[in-house]
Amino acid sequence: MKVLVTGAAGFIGYHVALRLLSVGDCVTGVDNLNSYYDPRLKRARLEQLDRHSGFEFQLVDLAGRTASEALFAGRKFDAIVHLAAQAGVRHSLDNPHAFTESNITGFLNVLEGARRGRAGHLIYASSSSVYGSGNSRKIPFSIDDRCDWPISLYAATKRANELMAHCYTHLYEIPTTGLRFFTVYGPWGRPDMAPYRFARAIDLGRQIDIYNYGRMFRDFTYAGDVAESVARLVERSPQGYRLFNIGGGSPVALMDFVHALEGALGKRARKRFLPMQKGDVPLTHADVEDLYAFTGFRPSTPLVAGIERFIAWYRDWARQDVTRPISLSCHAAY
């Protein structure tokens, strides 16, 4: 199959592209290599993908209409896996324009590429953040449930993506599949996310900030399981407008996650407990029965095993990264 993976130099994009390449698919990867976090990590991921003969990379900012049209001109893909986005719940409070440009305008340009017949199926990243506070919801979160009002601009842009995709499926009969990712972690993870920031702080003997006084639960999902979920959806015949949760299905207490990091690193964390931050939620829990019914797969990597793999990669990467200045206040999304 010929697959376009946008955000291929990103965390999830890298794992998805690698999984598709491993079974012989031809992957065109797209990324703008922005500086939201150190582009050296993005380039290192691309170096891994470049080892595969079926991989081609295009440096493209999808928020640019002309550049996006040029990407799709004369090309046809069996599927588009659109993972390029500006991420970060709390970052959206400080830099809202980056989110509308990347997540709204960029997604519209990809939808237009699909509308012009350049793909048989559009799979795109949504987020568990669209479920809002969860205060009035049943647990676990089910696709059949209505979403609460988003409580961050990031979540609002992802919910908007789902609505935009619904319109294009209805108007132009484009098969679209949205994926609500739940707290993805693993090797090659983003430095702004809690697993990496916590690991580095613990490793260096620095303090970590733990919000809501530690009373947080997250449905952590291993990156390899995410890639397998996406690959199986690529392989299946598209069916109109679909949404799936991509999550482990078993929420983990944040303090248990910290303990797993401590165990893998062999060091104790210095902890500072703080109140809940704006835009955050105390619990996420994915109902993944729809995903299992459709693909025969559900994420199942045990947390301890996933953390050990992450720390093995972290130690290797950190040896190359020790001179880079860092901020160790661990305020990234859990």
On whether both 155 and 278 belong to a single domain, the answer is no
On whether both 121 and 199 belong to a single domain, the answer is no
C-alpha atoms less than 13 angstroms from C-alpha of 114 in its C-beta half-sphere: 30
pLDDT at 215: 93
On whether both 114 and 256 belong to a single domain, the answer is no
On whether both 160 and 197 belong to a single domain, the answer is no
On whether both 126 and 75 belong to a single domain, the answer is yes
Whether 154 sits among the annotated catalytic residues: the reply is: yes
On whether both 77 and 209 belong to a single domain, the answer is no
Q: What is the residue range of 25's domain?
A: 2-183+223-246
Model confidence pTM above 0.75: yes
**Sign of the C-alpha dihedral computed for residues 58, 64, 70 and 73 taken in this order:** positive
pLDDT one-digit tens code per residue, 134-180: 544 566 788 766 667 787 888 899 999 999 999 999 999 999 999 99
Peptide bond into 150 cis (omega under 30): no
pLDDT beyond 90 at 132: no
CATH number of the domain enclosing 60? 3.40.50.720
On whether both 14 and 158 belong to a single domain, the answer is yes
On whether both 105 and 81 belong to a single domain, the answer is yes
User: Among 154, 185, 196, 222, which one carries the catalytic annotation?
Assistant: 154
pLDDT at 324: 47
Mean pLDDT of 122-138: 79
On whether both 97 and 132 belong to a single domain, the answer is yes
Q: Token digits for 231?
A: 């690959």
On whether both 15 and 135 belong to a single domain, the answer is yes
On whether both 6 and 97 belong to a single domain, the answer is yes
pLDDT at 139: 66
Q: Residue 109 and residue 59: Cα distance in Å, rounded?
A: 16
- Residue 70 CB: number of other CB atoms within 10 A? 13
pLDDT at 96: 82
> Backbone dihedral region of 317: left (phi > 0), alpha (psi from -120 to 50 degrees) or beta?
alpha
pLDDT one-digit tens code per residue, 211-265: 999 999 999 999 999 999 999 999 998 889 999 999 998 999 999 999 999 999 9
pLDDT one-digit tens code per residue, 92-109: 667 788 889 999 999 999
Q: Is residue 289 part of a domain?
A: no
